[in-house]
Amino acid sequence: MGRVLLLFLFCLGVASTTYAQEAPTRPRGVVSEKPMVFIATTGDDFNVYLAAAIVKKGVPVTLVEKQEDADFILKASVVEVQKVGSGTKVLNCLFAYCGGNADKGSTSAQLVKDGLIAWSYSVNKGRGEKNKQALAEAIAKHLKNDYFHQK
């Protein structure tokens, strides 16, 4: 009888300490002192370019797949591309100069923490077919320099 009571009390103690523990703030298996960032999906897959640029530029964050695991949410607008028509290109070359004939793109991004905007940036680039990559890298660079104060 004493063993059964002792076993019962032991199991009760283990169960109470298991349920009393706080939920982990980091996803399982992730050991990181860096802030966790979730990149919100955009309608044009710009979020994929942002993830690649953040890794390439060495922004001091850990990217996560689930929003509930994140300390921050990075939200970006859909990239708007302004196509320069061939007629405009010809006129520019005839009457002015041929520079500035590439397509132009623009977007903006916000870093959100607990419903508050912690950082915001807007960018315009003229890079033709490479708009998304150039825009994402500009956002990553400024996020690293301006918000995380790293060069």
Range of the domain at 81: 32-147
Residue 108 lies in a domain: yes
pLDDT at 21: 40
- CATH number, position 99: 3.30.160.150
Is residue 62 within 8 A of residue 37, CB to CB? The reply is yes
Residue 90 lies in a domain: yes
Burial label for 116, CB within 10 Å (0-12, 13-18, 19+), is: exposed
- Summarised one tens digit per residue, pLDDT across range 3-59 is 555 445 455 554 444 443 444 455 555 566 899 999 999 999 999 999 999 999 999
- Summarised one tens digit per residue, pLDDT across range 118-148 is 999 999 987 655 789 999 999 999 999 999 9
Its sign, for the CA torsion 94, 98, 103, 109, is negative
Residue 22 lies in a domain: no
Residue 76 lies in a domain: yes
Residue 8 lies in a domain: no
d(CA 55, CA 35): 14
Is residue 80 within 8 A of residue 46, CB to CB? The reply is no
What pTM did the predictor assign? 0.70
Is residue 120 within 8 A of residue 109, CB to CB? The reply is yes
